[in-house]
Amino acid sequence: MTRYEQLADDIEAAVRRGVFGPGERILSVRRASQQHGVSIKTVLRAYAVLESRSVIESRPQSGYFVRARLGAPQGRDLAGAPGAPGSQGKESVSQGKPRRAGAPRQPMPANVDVSRLVLSTLRSIGAQDAVPLGSPYPDPALFPWRRINQYANAIARRHTGWNLIDDLPPGNPELIRQIARRYAENGVSVDPEEIVITVGATEAINLSLQAVARPGDTVAVESPTYYAMLHAIERLGMRAIEVSTHADTGIDLDALERVLAHQKVAACMVMPNFQNPLGFRMPDANKARLVALAEAHDLPVIENDVYQELYFGQTRPSTLKQFDTRALVLHCASFSKSLSASYRIGWALPGRYRAQVEKLKFLNTLTTPSVPQVALADYLRHDGYDRHLRRVRRFYRQQARLMRAMVERFFPAGTRTSEPQGGYVLWVELPPRVDSMRLYQAALAQGITIGPGYMFSMRNEYHHYIRLNYSYPWNAQTEAALKTLGEMAAKMA
Amino acid sequence: MTRYEQLADDIEAAVRRGVFGPGERILSVRRASQQHGVSIKTVLRAYAVLESRSVIESRPQSGYFVRARLGAPQGRDLAGAPGAPGSQGKESVSQGKPRRAGAPRQPMPANVDVSRLVLSTLRSIGAQDAVPLGSPYPDPALFPWRRINQYANAIARRHTGWNLIDDLPPGNPELIRQIARRYAENGVSVDPEEIVITVGATEAINLSLQAVARPGDTVAVESPTYYAMLHAIERLGMRAIEVSTHADTGIDLDALERVLAHQKVAACMVMPNFQNPLGFRMPDANKARLVALAEAHDLPVIENDVYQELYFGQTRPSTLKQFDTRALVLHCASFSKSLSASYRIGWALPGRYRAQVEKLKFLNTLTTPSVPQVALADYLRHDGYDRHLRRVRRFYRQQARLMRAMVERFFPAGTRTSEPQGGYVLWVELPPRVDSMRLYQAALAQGITIGPGYMFSMRNEYHHYIRLNYSYPWNAQTEAALKTLGEMAAKMA
């Protein structure tokens, strides 16, 4: 192939992949000659070939543009490059952007990869018109976007490169102060110097686990557990030991005690408040006993407390951190469930492991983006976070009741539900013959998403359980979706 | 201690730590009673104690406020909580926010912890009036902040929670397309579907390394090398083997070949363009040979190409990726050096490891914050990125010459400098008796920062080398700083 044919093929491939969209200008002949290191003549020939293939058109005085409608491909494998992942050729072109999976296209393998399943479930929520019962996030409409945006807006206007230095780990000082202040107002004494800001609680949990355990180590987790815990363990090459967990009081402390007596456990990861998926509030006596147990075994405890603000009762639940006298608790939390998931602001209170966590934060992502840090600090300082929270708590409490009633009404006999004390998810046990993966796929085909039980354990123990999100306002579509789900489940049962 | 005394002490500790700043309102009696789970009477008593200690004051009809000037502490250890990192008590109060190190306060240990040294150096740049010759970042004043901010601004206005789903890994589709387009315009064929957006190149490098190697594995790196490479290896519990690297042609390929012949190497990490700290541009023939060597050994190569846009010549340098026929190159880059460091937007083109990198991205930080992704996509789509880059390239080229001339003028005999072909850092070899750590500390005391050679190797090979940043406009202060540095070095030599 000649040099100009090669160049023409490269550009055509880029156009068909959507890199240059319909109507967009491509490089001038002079610049293309410079950039590709070929002569002007070669570029002119290549562009002529592309015109003849109806890929580009020249416009007098303006340059060369991608045609609104492309000619048919010339039969060569233009979209595929060596080693590149499967391109979609024409499909991309029609949208002018890379293909994004609205929903998983292939059935899940029998041996479920939890993290891939979770990512697929998340993506499916973005599909048009899907009923997002499978979402792990609250209805975005509940978030005080307008107000948060105003702050982000004002910051973006005055933001400079210096923010990078100011907001280096441990993080933006005013955000740190606001977080400490919030704990203080809730009766939890926190030293601001202990706080490390992270990219969401996800990073906080990852860093905490890495600070206390090594690859190959065993980590005790709840069962069922929030999958981010399993992800962290998987990612770091550790082994999970799943400890049975009561739907109303949390991790079985007798069982945990037996585990600790018989094997070396490097850390324990729990979610004592409004656990996802079970929704319980661990009683204070249990929290105290868990911390005492940890202290007796010198066991670091990673406390995932992202739902701390979404309680249904009168006051914020206690944290393990409050019972901790030896700084063995690494408390992790975020604003993702209460203010903004896409801002990705979380934090860790790592106790005696603070120096390691700060260092790992720096190694992992250097620093957390500045604008989101400062925007949330300003919102917390000036705005009605409490008012917002009072509103959503009331709403979730009502919705939890409604969702339970509707599941009872539409689902087959033998179905049981959790009794959430906070948060916005319901855990539903279906008759044993219903496979939640099959239900997930059948529901997806109807534009309904659910959280299959497979996501919450490595041992596939919850194959007939599902998690439902009740943060979205109840409407006819939700009701119809729940009815459909119930009918599908009844058929499978 | 009674309940009310305990409560008073807790609140006073929070005030003295700066959690509640001077003049700020604390919780109302009613809310405090709810949140702390004590009676109204207990709160009233605690507040009375705090008033008597001159910590708070009550204002009629408004509530309780922190006093502008606090009374002296009562002799108890109010600031220190069990296990909490060293609090600064009164110091915090005077500023109303947590203490931040403007500069490291303690001498470095003999056995240098590279990542702590880097973090200290970064922080020292933020110190007031410091001459930031040690900065790894370009002068923030060079970035097109006003324009980027306008886009961030517009996005912040229309941003909603749905962005989280739209911008899940691999990332915002339009940003991905703009990145692919930029490569295409530079003559590099890239499939947009291969791109994974990350929190800066730091995360891209971490994920790439984790995708191809396991803890305990050996990874070949340049020597000297950019410290983020060493960080990634340290963080993942791997071993670095440092391969000598020429100041003008890059990694010694004969040496690398010998290493590969004699031991198992899991990956190779290089920076072929304008390496930090050496500034070389690896010749195309060497790039081709490196990739061929990698292919012969089935060796994944992590290519850190963050300086790709900052070339001094007429055209963008080639990438290893362009020579790669077997998709073994994991190409990592970011906008941190050319557009905005605090936005933390990087990406990976992981070749055959794409699925693993995307999954690890999801496990590590779930997703990259939305606003920065969309703001940069909009900037790239609509604005003068090329114009901006042409301006800074010209400026850096001039500055490099100037900085070399000044080092020659002010530094002692025996000093040698690199000849950067791009980027904005100069590598300076001092007479062997000059210890760069001592120079760093002496300079810091004079308000000057430098990059000590210790940061660029685990083997402490560059104890008499320093890295200087020349991105800041030359002025009398810079000149004086360089003169001071030269005099200090002469004294130590």
| Alpha-carbon gap: A492 to the closest alpha carbon of chain B (Å) | 31
CATH number, domain with residue B415: 3.90.1150.10
Q: Is B91 on the interface with A (CB under 8 A)?
A: no
* Nearby residues of A18 by Cβ (< 8 Å), 6 or more positions away: A92, A93, A95, A96, A97, A98, B177, B192
A135 and A216 share one domain = no
In a domain, B252, yes or no: yes
What is the per-residue pLDDT for A162? 66
- Residue of A66, A118, A193 best to disrupt the B interface, most CBs of B under 10 A: A193
In a domain, B316, yes or no: yes
Q: Which of B363, B383, B403 is at the close of a domain?
A: B383
In a domain, B238, yes or no: yes
- Taking an 8 Å cut-off on Cβ atoms, the answer to whether A351 and B235 are in contact is no
CA angle B196, B201, B206 (to 5 degrees): 85
Question: pLDDT at residue B162 above 70?
Answer: no
For chain A, what is the mean pLDDT? Answer: 86
Mean pLDDT of A98-108: 32
Question: pLDDT at residue B259 above 60?
Answer: yes
Tokens of A134: 């499978």
Q: Is A320 on the interface with B (CB under 8 A)?
A: no
A334 and A424 share one domain = no
Of residues B122 and B280, the one with the higher pLDDT is B280
- Taking an 8 Å cut-off on Cβ atoms, the answer to whether A164 and B137 are in contact is yes
Task: Give pLDDT tens digits for A291-330.
Answer: 999 999 999 999 999 999 999 988 889 999 999 999 999 9
What is the per-residue pLDDT for A276? 96
Which residues of A fall within a CB distance of 8 Å from B85? 191, 193-194, 354-355
What is the per-residue pLDDT for B52? 86
Task: In whole angstroms, give the CA distance from residue A281 to residue A422.
Answer: 8
B136 and B153 share one domain = no
Of residues A176 and A74, the one with the higher pLDDT is A176
Decide: A187 and A212 in contact? Cβ < 8 Å.
Answer: no
Taking the alpha carbons at both ends of chain A, their separation in whole angstroms is 62
Of residues A234 and B163, the one with the higher pLDDT is A234
CATH number, domain with residue A319: 3.40.640.10
A29 and A156 share one domain = no
Task: Give pLDDT tens digits for A407-431.
Answer: 999 999 999 999 999 999 999 999 9
Mean pLDDT of A141-160: 77
Mean pLDDT of B239-268: 95
Q: Confidence class of residue B74 from pLDDT cuts 50, 70 and 90?
A: low
Give bridge partners of residue B348 from the DSSP assignment: B196, B332
Amino acid at position A192, single letter: P
CATH number, domain with residue A52: 1.10.10.10
Tokens of B431: 């007479």
Amino acid at position B259, single letter: V
What is the per-residue pLDDT for A110? 32
A327 and A395 share one domain = no
> How many separate domains does chain B show?
3
Task: Give pLDDT tens digits for B449-466.
Answer: 999 999 999 887 899 999
What is the per-residue pLDDT for A126? 67
- Taking an 8 Å cut-off on Cβ atoms, the answer to whether B145 and A167 are in contact is no
In a domain, B102, yes or no: no
- Taking an 8 Å cut-off on Cβ atoms, the answer to whether B115 and A191 are in contact is no
A34 and A177 share one domain = no
Task: Give pLDDT tens digits for B29-57.
Answer: 888 888 888 899 999 999 989 988 889 99
CA angle B57, B60, B65 (to 5 degrees): 30
Lowest average pLDDT, out of A35-44, A67-76, B8-17, B292-301, goes to A67-76
Closest CA to A277 of A238, A313, A257, A250: A250
| Alpha-carbon gap: A252 to the closest alpha carbon of chain B (Å) | 27
What is the per-residue pLDDT for B98? 31
Which residues of A fall within a CB distance of 8 Å from B162? 126, 140
B398 and B469 share one domain = yes
| Alpha-carbon gap: A154 to the closest alpha carbon of chain B (Å) | 8
- Residue of B99, B164, B324 best to disrupt the A interface, most CBs of A under 10 A: B164
Q: Is A114 on the interface with B (CB under 8 A)?
A: no
Taking CA–CA distances from B336, the nearest residue in chain A reads A161
A134 and A149 share one domain = no
- Taking an 8 Å cut-off on Cβ atoms, the answer to whether A184 and B100 are in contact is no
User: What is the domain range of residue B8?
Assistant: 3-95
Percent above pLDDT 70 for chain B? 89
Tokens of A332: 């992790």
Question: pLDDT at residue A189 above 90?
Answer: no
Give the SS3 label for residue A65: strand
Q: Is A137 on the interface with B (CB under 8 A)?
A: yes
DSSP string covering A121-190? HHHHHTSTT-EETT-SS--GGGS-HHHHHHHHHHHHHH--THHHHHT-TT--HHHHHHHHHHHHHTT---
Tokens of B264: 């198992």
Which residues of A fall within a CB distance of 8 Å from B14? 180-181, 184, 189
Q: Is B19 on the interface with A (CB under 8 A)?
A: yes
Task: Give pLDDT tens digits for B191-203.
Answer: 999 999 999 999 9
| HSE value, Cβ hemisphere, 13 Å, CA-based, for B438 | 13
Mean pLDDT of A256-277: 96
| Alpha-carbon gap: B20 to the closest alpha carbon of chain A (Å) | 6
- Taking an 8 Å cut-off on Cβ atoms, the answer to whether B85 and A355 are in contact is yes
What is the per-residue pLDDT for B392? 94
A155 and A135 share one domain = no
Taking CA–CA distances from B205, the nearest residue in chain A reads A364
DSSP string covering A225-258? --HHHHHHHHHTT-EEEEEEEETTTEE-HHHHHH
Lowest average pLDDT, out of A94-98, A133-137, A242-246, B152-156, goes to A94-98
B266 and B399 share one domain = no
Q: Confidence class of residue B315 from pLDDT cuts 50, 70 and 90?
A: confident
Q: Is A60 on the interface with B (CB under 8 A)?
A: no
Question: pLDDT at residue B208 above 60?
Answer: yes
3-state secondary structure A35-46: HHCCCHHHHHHH
Place of tokens 């408040």: A273
Question: pLDDT at residue A130 above 70?
Answer: yes
Q: Is B102 on the interface with A (CB under 8 A)?
A: no
For chain B, what is the mean pLDDT? Answer: 86
What is the per-residue pLDDT for A128? 55
- Taking an 8 Å cut-off on Cβ atoms, the answer to whether B82 and A192 are in contact is no
Amino acid at position A393, single letter: R
CA angle A138, A141, A142 (to 5 degrees): 60
Mean pLDDT of A365-370: 89
What is the per-residue pLDDT for B380? 93
B341 and B368 share one domain = yes
B343 and B425 share one domain = no
In a domain, A100, yes or no: no
Percent above pLDDT 70 for chain A? 89
In a domain, B199, yes or no: yes
In a domain, A103, yes or no: no
Q: Which of B360, B383, B406 is at the close of a domain?
A: B383
Taking the alpha carbons at both ends of chain B, their separation in whole angstroms is 62
Q: Is A167 on the interface with B (CB under 8 A)?
A: yes
| Alpha-carbon gap: B319 to the closest alpha carbon of chain A (Å) | 13
Amino acid at position A219, single letter: V
Q: Confidence class of residue B161 from pLDDT cuts 50, 70 and 90?
A: low
Q: Confidence class of residue B149 from pLDDT cuts 50, 70 and 90?
A: confident
Phi, then psi, of A54 in degrees rounded to 5: 60, 35
Which residues of A fall within a CB distance of 8 Å from B143? 160-161
Mark A17-28 as b/e (b = at least 16 C-beta within 10 Å): bbbbbbeeebbe
Task: In whole angstroms, give the CA distance from residue B475 to residue B478.
Answer: 5
What is the per-residue pLDDT for A274? 97
Place of tokens 């044993």: A432
Question: pLDDT at residue A474 above 60?
Answer: yes
Q: Which of B367, B383, B399 is at the close of a domain?
A: B383
Place of tokens 């947590």: B98
What is the per-residue pLDDT for A74? 58
Which contacts (CB < 8 Å, 24+ apart) does range A42-45 have?
A42/A3, A42/A4, A42/A7, A43/A4, A43/A7, A45/A4, A45/A8
Amino acid at position A490, single letter: A
Question: pLDDT at residue B94 above 80?
Answer: no
What is the per-residue pLDDT for A314? 85
| Alpha-carbon gap: A230 to the closest alpha carbon of chain B (Å) | 10
**DSSP H or E run through B269:** strand B267-270
Task: Give pLDDT tens digits for B422-450.
Answer: 999 999 999 999 999 999 999 988 989 99
Q: Does the model's ipTM exceed the 0.85 cut?
A: no
Percent above pLDDT 90 for chain A? 58
Of residues B430 and A126, the one with the higher pLDDT is B430
Question: pLDDT at residue B212 above 90?
Answer: yes
Task: Give pLDDT tens digits for B348-374.
Answer: 999 999 999 999 999 999 889 888 899
Decide: B470 and B392 in contact? Cβ < 8 Å.
Answer: no
Cis-peptide, bond into residue A170, ω within 30° of zero? yes
Tokens of B53: 């200690």
| Alpha-carbon gap: B412 to the closest alpha carbon of chain A (Å) | 32
Q: Is A63 on the interface with B (CB under 8 A)?
A: no
Closest CA to B468 of B399, B421, B414: B399
What is the per-residue pLDDT for B126? 67
- Residue of B151, B336, B342 best to disrupt the A interface, most CBs of A under 10 A: B342
pTM of this structure: 0.83
Give bridge partners of residue A239 from the DSSP assignment: A218
What is the per-residue pLDDT for A197? 97
In a domain, A378, yes or no: yes
Give bridge partners of residue A268 from the DSSP assignment: A220, A301
Lowest average pLDDT, out of A43-47, A80-84, A452-456, goes to A80-84
- Taking an 8 Å cut-off on Cβ atoms, the answer to whether B97 and A375 are in contact is no
Mean pLDDT of B150-175: 79
Q: How far is CA A430 from CA A248, A415, A486, B15, in A?
A: 18, 5, 10, 51
Question: pLDDT at residue B102 above 80?
Answer: no
